[in-house]
Homo-oligomer: A and B are copies of this chain.
Amino acid sequence: MSGLATQILQGDRRALARLLTIVENAREGGDHALAALFPHTGHAHIIGITGPPGAGKSTLVSALTKAVRAQGKTVAILAVDPTSPFSGGAILGDRIRMRDLSGDSGVFIRSMATRGSLGGLARAARDAVRILDAAGFDYVVVETVGAGQSEVEIARMAQTVLVVEAPGMGDDVQAIKAGILEIADILVVNKADRPGLDNTIRALKLMLELGHPASRSQVSGHHGAMMSTPAPTMTSVDHALWIPVIVQTVATDGRGIDELIGAIEAHQAHLRRNGHLRELEQRQIEIELQDRLREALLTRLLENISAQDLSTLVERIQQRHMPPHEAVDMLLAGLRFEPSEE
């Protein structure tokens, strides 16, 4: 077995940090250690936290972590920053805010920014979550900044997705909610002591009640969670389908954190009933395989095309002599799939 994997399973935090760096930079040796750790995954509860900037996500993660630690459970936090595709330092502020957690050996904090493509970040984050799971943490919290497709990708690797909002965040907030609401298992209205709380709660309830016409009569692409007609309440309903709940918090003084933990535990219990977790994992694995195949296939193809041929093709497109889709057809003309011998 990989030495690094053995050390990680024994609780070695330096080995853990080292493997995370290998995975983040897509360096040699990562796959070997991941293969060794993979059978040890599946025990952590993986929580995704997303929402617009300014909603207080980091403070909430910090408060949540302290409360979970008080129960004796361990927490790994992966702060993923898809908004910073070029420079890695953007979430330093968040790390500083979480500094008060760092003396605790039951807490592990790691940040990860995009290097290159979003696809690369999603792959690295997925692998990081698995490593942290195998390392034995009870909770793995994946936190992302911003609101957009990138967050949806990251949330797809979580079991329970928290979307954090705050009162009075301007008229464009509605636009954000439209997309992000549909991935939420739990809606957290943080900074609940601020003006405008009632309006925010009302708007969220309305959006949940309305659901989205397209998704109301079918299981949505994520989590099998369905927007339901009855108004969601503060308590989760024991139901075959999960109805998103709204929880109010003031993360700075800990108000509502116990209720939030209750909602998370209720969702976890829901997942573990009736094979929901198994279904969720299978859907996530399908998405992961597609993501990995896209990248692996492109790499293989580019290995089989000379830089000169590719550059000639780019030139022809640039001069409007050939549309891009014809270039793609030409590049794929020599592609064959031979039946496997297994």
> Does A28 count as interface, using CB distance less than 8 angstroms?
no
Q: Quick check: A300 and B178 within 8 Å, CB to CB?
A: no
* Contact call A81/B293, Cβ cutoff below 8 A: no
Chain B's nearest CB lies how many Å from the CB of A299?
Answer: 10
| Count of identical protomers in the assembly | 2
**Which residues of chain B are within 8 angstroms of A91 by Cβ–Cβ distance?**
175
1/0 contact trace for A136-172 toward B, CB 8 Å?
0000000001111111110000000000000001111
Contact at B294–A324, with CB atoms within 8 Å?
no
Any chain B CB within 8 A of the CB of A313? yes
Q: If the complex has contacts A172-B53, A295-B294, A340-B334, are A179 and B149 also in contact, measured as CB distance less than 8 A?
A: no
Q: Which of B82, B289, B332 contacts A328 (CB 8 A)?
A: B289
The answer to whether A221 has its CB under 8 Å from any CB of chain B is yes
- A128 interface hit (Cβ, 8 Å): no
Contact check, B289 vs A293: say whether CB atoms are below 8 A apart: no
- Output the residue of A285, A295, A326 with the most chain B CB within 10 A: A285
Asked whether A176 and B335 contact (CB < 8 A) given A87-B214, A289-B314, A298-B297, the answer is: no
- Per the 8 Å Cβ criterion, residues 201-254 of A in contact with B are 212, 214-215, 220-221
Consensus secondary structure, chain A interface:
helix
Chain B residues with Cβ below 8 Å from A35 are 323, 325-326
Closest to A180 in B: B83
Q: Select A318's contact among B174, B285, B310, B331, beta carbons within 8 Å.
A: B285
A103 within 8 A of B: no
- Chain A, 296-319, CB within 8 A of any chain B CB: 296-298, 300-301, 304, 310, 313-315, 317-318
Q: A91-B175, A282-B314 are in contact. List 10 more A-B contacts (CB 8 A).
A: A35-B325, A54-B169, A81-B175, A85-B149, A87-B214, A297-B298, A297-B301, A300-B337, A304-B337, A336-B338
Can you offer 18 A-B residue contacts whose CB atoms are under 8 A? A38-B320, A54-B169, A81-B175, A83-B147, A83-B179, A87-B215, A90-B174, A90-B178, A114-B149, A118-B150, A148-B150, A288-B324, A289-B310, A289-B324, A293-B301, A297-B332, A330-B342, A335-B335
